[in-house]
Amino acid sequence: MSMQQQTRHAAVLVAAMLALASTPALAVAPFAADYQATYMGMQAAGTMTLAPAGADRWTYSLDIDGMGAQMKQSTVFEAKGNAWRPLSSSDSQQGTAGLAAMLVKKKSVNAQYDWSKGEARWTGDVDSDKAGPVKLQAGDLDGMLMNLALVRDVAAGKPLDYRLVEDGKIKQQSFKVAGKESVDVGGKSREATKVVRQDGKREIIAWVVEGLPVPARILQRRDGRDHVDLRLSRVR
C-alpha cells in the first residue's frame, strides 16, 4: 500500500473515532477533544470540535496534523431532536514534510446535500462518476454525522444500521454491540460499551464510555492484526 493510501486510511479511521460523540438522545452540545493516534509506528495529534452554527445548525470539524501530513474534515448539519441531516461537508489533505510531502496528493472535496431537490453532489478533486447526483432519502447521513449518530444510538439501545451517502455512492453500514469491557481513561479504569463493525478482513472496534463526549479508544485491525490505535487524551 502506498504512503498516500495509508495516510488516507488513517484519516478515515481517525475521523471515525473522533466523530463518535455521545450526546444525549434529544440534545446536541458543543465540545472540543484532543487525541493521540498510533499508526504503523507513527504518531499524530488532532482536535475535533462541535460548535453551533445558528438556526438548529452545527459544524462538526476534525483537524489532524502528523505523519508528515495534514487532514481536515468538516460537516455542517441540521439537528431537530433526533432528526439529523447533513447540509454540506468538506474533506482535504496535503503532505507537509518528509516522504509524505512527496507522496500524499493534495486533495480537496466538497459536498452539498440539497434536501429541497432531494439530491447530493460533490465538487473539487472528484472523478466524474463520483460527482453525483445521488438521490437522498430521509435518514441519510454522511461519514462524520453517521458516527455522531452511532454513539447516540448505542446509548438509546437502537439498531446501528445506517445509509451512508458519501463519495458519490450509497453504502449500507451496520455496527454490532459486543458487550462491556474496561478501558483506561486518564489513568482510571472505566466501563465501556464495545461496538464492532466488520467488513471482510477489516474490523473497527470502538469503546464508548457513558458521560464522555467521544469514545475512549478505537482500534482498527486488518487480517486479525492491530493497524491503528486511537486514544482520547482530553476533552475540554
**Residue for cell digits 434536501?**
115
Residue with the bigger pLDDT between 229 and 108: it is: 108
Are 236 and 30 spatial neighbours (Cβ–Cβ below 8 Å)? no
Are 29 and 23 spatial neighbours (Cβ–Cβ below 8 Å)? yes
Measured CA to CA, the distance from residue 167 to residue 121 in angstroms comes to: 9
Task: Reply yes or no on whether the pLDDT at 20 is more than 80.
Answer: no
Q: Rounded mean pLDDT of the chain?
A: 82
Mean pLDDT on 127-135: 93
Q: Determine what percent of the chain is predicted with pLDDT higher than 70.
A: 83
Residues pairing with 64 in the sheet:
46, 71
Measured CA to CA, the distance from residue 146 to residue 62 in angstroms comes to: 14
Task: Reply yes or no on whether the pLDDT at 163 is more than 90.
Answer: yes
Sorting pLDDT into bands at 50, 70 and 90, what band is 10? very low
Residue range(s) defining the domain that contains residue 209: 3-235
pLDDT tens, position by position, 40-67? 567 788 888 999 999 899 999 988 787 7
Q: Could you check whether the bond before residue 133 is cis, i.e. omega within 30 degrees of 0?
A: yes
Sorting pLDDT into bands at 50, 70 and 90, what band is 1? low
- CATH number for the domain spanning 138: value is 2.50.20
Number of structural domains found in the chain: 1
